Amino acid sequence: MSIAGQAALVTGGGSGIGAGIAQRLARDGAEVLVADINAAAAEAVAAGIRDAGGTAQPFAMDVAEPDLAAAAVAEAEARFGRLRIAVCNAGITDRKPVLEMSLGDFERVLRVNLIGCFVTAQAAGRAMACGPEEARGGRIVTISSVSGQFGGTGRAAYGASKGGIEMLTKVLAAELAEYGITVNAVAPGPTQIARTAHGPRQRAAFLGRMAIKRYGTPEDIAAAVAFLCGPDCGFITGHILNVDGGFASSGVLYDPNEGA
């Protein structure tokens, strides 16, 4: 068994981690709707997938607009058949200190990251749950972050949105299991993408508590997503899979040979 021929939706698929996910799912045989607020970026990723022999089409989508989630699902099903995979990846960041952050800034991040995840997962879940029992089922994967698990400077909105996604994932998993739908989250650690503008001090702060001394890549995250979308994950749901180089588990790291 594989995901070959399965219809998939990836939000935020026009760049970074989302592009890596769309490319990996297509390489594994899925037929992918690459949804992104940047229509040109979505088309570029979809075209690259087609050039590599895969199946993909672009879709212009702002996840902060709830009606577009249902439209994206309908588009995926019209092009590729019944939706079986949905990856809720679209998100934005804002690193303002809490005392300087406006309510509008806070709400904007939550609207895109958390509400966007909710409406996408809801629309996908409705499509996967409809019809006779034998036709139901699917995989929903949300993209969280280690920033949703730890307090960190400049992450009031982003951290709250990602923490919310992790709880949302668990609730979705509990409610959608009866329809044969699994729901899991991948929580990346620091990942090298275009929008990761970490200076030397921030990089040192991350790498200092990582067992694997490098930033992740979109391919690292995509591999975990592909696993959770695959046929071997039928008994895994409500799980938060950290792909973080050991960031969440390592604690204080130092060389004992250097003394106390």
Task: Kindly list the catalytic residues.
Answer: 158
Contact 146, 93 (CB under 8 A): no
Residue 7, beta-bridge partner list: 31, 83
Q: Residue type at 25?
A: L
| Angle ∠(139,118,156) on CA atoms, nearest 5 | 120
Contact 69, 119 (CB under 8 A): yes
Strands 138-143 and 83-88: parallel
> Measured between alpha carbons, how far is 72 from 35 in angstroms, rounded to an integer?
7
Q: Residue type at 111?
A: R
| Angle ∠(190,159,203) on CA atoms, nearest 5 | 25
Residue 170: exposure state from Cβ atoms within 10 A (0-12, 13-18, ≥19): middle
Other CB atoms within 10 Å distance of the CB of residue 36: 29
DSSP state of 139: E
